[in-house]
Amino acid sequence: MNTVIVIGNICFTPELRYTPKGTAVSTIRLAVPKSFEKNKSDFMDVICWKNMAEYVTKHTAKGTRVAVRGHLQSRNWLTQSNEKREKLEIVANEVKKLDNQKDQQPNDGFICDYDEEPIFYDD
């Protein structure tokens, strides 16, 4: 089983990008507070695809508190200087805004549309 649930604050305003085939993708970086160390956080990258990527780009910004459910993914690549790199990230299945904002509509802030295997591209 590979399931992750985290709650944290977005570290920077998400930017929407598109793959060469036109699929929307956005990466959000979360600061997730450590429960055992006051004023300390772990930082995690979360990959959002399709209309979830469009949603987080349109409706969240730096500082927005969100809950994310997804799965861990490990990626490997070589740098231009032939050094091996590895990165562990979360691929989001669900994102829910937790902030209480005046412009938020009832049931706003929840999106779950991830129903097929993503294709990953390294830039």
Whether residue 122 lies inside any domain: the answer is: no
What single letter denotes the amino acid at residue 107?
N
Query: What's the rounded Cα separation, in Å, for the pair 33 and 22?
Result: 35
Whether residue 23 lies inside any domain: the answer is: yes
Expressed as residue numbers, the domain containing 70 is 4-111
pTM for this prediction:
0.76
Q: Residue 28 contacts by C-beta under 8 Å, 6 or more apart in sequence?
A: 10, 11, 14, 45, 46, 48, 56, 60, 66
- Parallel, antiparallel or unpaired: strands 41-49 and 84-97: parallel
Domains: count for the chain: 1
Quick one: pLDDT at residue 101? 53
Whether residue 66 lies inside any domain: the answer is: yes
Which residues on neighbouring strands pair with residue 36, listed in sequence order?
A: none
pLDDT tens, N- to C-terminus, the chain (123 residues):
999 999 999 999 999 999 999 999 999 999 998 878 788 899 999 999 999 999 999 999 999 999 999 999 999 989 999 999 999 999 999 999 987 654 444 444 444 444 444 433 333
Check which CATH number belongs to the domain holding 20 and give it.
2.40.50.140
Whether residue 117 lies inside any domain: the answer is: no
Quick one: pLDDT at residue 116? 41
Whether residue 75 lies inside any domain: the answer is: yes
